[in-house]
Amino acid sequence: MFKGNAGFCNAHLGAVVLRCRLLGQIAQMKQAGLSSFDFWLQAVIAVIFFPFLVTCFAVGLPLAIREAVTGQVSPEPALASGAPLLIAATVLVYLLALGATIWFGFFFPRRDHLVLHENGVAFRLGFKAGVVLFKELKVFRIGREWTPFEASAMKINRHFHPGLYVLAENARNMSLTLKLTRGEQIVLKAVLMRYEEQDVNEFLTQVYQQHPGIFGLDDSEVS
């Protein structure tokens, strides 16, 4: 798997066969089994509460440490002369946290892509990005295995939170597991629900038609 120079990668990947079209975030939520209301509720909560919590932590923690070290119960008298600076720092931290929330929540995901080439696949899923050549692939499988922690949590959710269990199972089944010949494994969680259904079907069909020997196999099925 190459993660370096884009020109070097493209030379090995060959021509683009299919570039999957990324869905809007509301459409992705619907693919996951959620509604538009769920999207906007999560967006409002993230934009309002996350910057607030970060600001409280970033500004309140130093004051708490100062109080613990000096033994001063009320910091107001000591901070009275520095109140404008404290207010400015609080506003700055809040704006930075708000900007980071909006960027990573709404704009950063738009960089994601899933592209099928003649000789491999190029992908970006959040901070995970790279390319995989078909000659490096041992297994190309739809879905993924639960981690031990996830498996335990899903056993509980299956009985007490069946709705959450169904959402998690749907996301698991829309993942991709790529196992390389040298033993490395790449898991792209819920990647297939992020793109147009027509493109996903065409992507999977092309991989199966061109490389049936690696498609959908478990380790036990690989000779």
45 C-beta neighbours (distance < 10 Å), count: 10
Average pLDDT, the chain: 80
Domain ranges within the chain, ordered by starting residue: 6-22+112-221, 36-108
Q: What are 129-179's pLDDT values in tens digits?
A: 999 999 999 999 999 988 888 888 888 878 887 877 788 888 888 999 999
> Is residue 87's pLDDT more than 80?
no
Token couple for 163: 């709705």
Distances from the Cα of 114 to the Cα of 8, 21, 104, 129, angstroms = 18, 8, 19, 10
- CATH (one of 3.40.109, 2.60.200, 2.60.120, 2.30.29) for 6-22+112-221: 2.30.29
8 pLDDT band, cuts 50/70/90, is very low
- 205 φ, ψ (degrees, to nearest 5): -65, -45
121 pLDDT band, cuts 50/70/90, is very high
Nearest to 63 by CA among 52, 72, 54: 72
Token couple for 78: 């000591």
